[in-house]
Amino acid sequence: MKIAFFDTKPYDKPSFERYGRERGITFKFYETKLTEDTAALAKGCDGVCVFVNDTVNAPVIDRLLEEGVRLIALRCAGYNNVDLRYTKDKLPVFRVPAYSPYAVAEHAIAMLLTSIRRIHKAYIRTRDFNFSLNNFTGFDLHGKTVGVIGTGKIGCCFIDICKGFGMKVLAYDKYPKELPEVTYTDLDALLSQSDIISLHCPLTRETDHLIDDNAIRKMKAKAMIINTSRGALIDAEALLKAIKERRIGGACLDVYEEESEFFFEDFSGHIVADDTLARLISMPNVIVTSHQAFLTEEALDNIADTTVSNIADHLQKGTRENEVTLF
To the query of whether residue 230 is one of the catalytic residues in this protein, the response is: yes
Inter-CA distances, 178 with 26, 158, 171, 175, 184, Å: 44, 16, 11, 10, 9
For 122, the 3-state DSSP assignment is: helix
Cross-strand partners of 171: 148, 184
Contact indicator for 56, 77 with CB cutoff of 8 Å = no
Of these residues, 259, 279, 320, 323, which one is catalytic?
A: 259
Of these residues, 63, 200, 291, 314, which one is catalytic?
A: 291
To the query of whether residue 291 is one of the catalytic residues in this protein, the response is: yes
Of these residues, 118, 230, 257, 314, which one is catalytic?
A: 230
Question: What are the CB-based long-range contacts (under 8 Å, 24+) for 26-31?
Answer: 26/1, 26/2, 27/2, 27/3, 28/2, 28/3, 28/4, 29/5, 30/4, 30/5, 30/6, 31/7
d(CA 275, CA 141): 32
To the query of whether residue 259 is one of the catalytic residues in this protein, the response is: yes
Residues forming the active site: 230, 259, 291
